[in-house]
Amino acid sequence: MAPTITAAITNSQEHLTLTHKLRKPLVEKLRRERINSSIEQLKSLLGPEFLKQQPDSKMEKADILEMTVCFLTHMQQQNQQQRTLLNHINKLQPCCANPTF
């Protein structure tokens, strides 16, 4: 008796499930490596900032992420203050669009 279409579909689905089960740990490992690499890059980019906060302790990934968020928030606030100051200075300057002699 020839194999039926149902049997072929079942075999195909089992093959896909097996392939997925074999691939999933590899994909997860690569994902964790990317996360760890990015966290290490953040740690090295903001190294002096981290050393000020916790000089002798081993930082967890969550600590590194929290400190990065705090640092970026602080930088964003400083940039906003500079923009506000520049806008204020620009408003105080006399307009030079139509000079009169």
Number of domains comprising the chain: 1
| 95 belongs to a structural domain | no
Does the CA dihedral 93-98-100-101 come out positive or negative?
A: positive
| 3 belongs to a structural domain | no
What are the CA-CA distances from residue 99 to residues 87, 89, 94, 95, 96 (Å)? 22, 20, 10, 8, 6
Written as tens digits, the pLDDT of the chain (101 aa) is 555 666 666 777 777 787 877 889 999 999 999 999 999 999 888 877 666 666 666 788 998 899 889 989 999 999 988 888 888 888 887 766 555 55
State the Rg of the chain over Cα.
29
| 50 belongs to a structural domain | no
pLDDT at 97: 55
> Against a cut of 0.85, is the pTM above it?
no
| 29 belongs to a structural domain | no
Q: Which domain holds residue 67?
A: 60-90
| 98 belongs to a structural domain | no
pLDDT at 62: 92
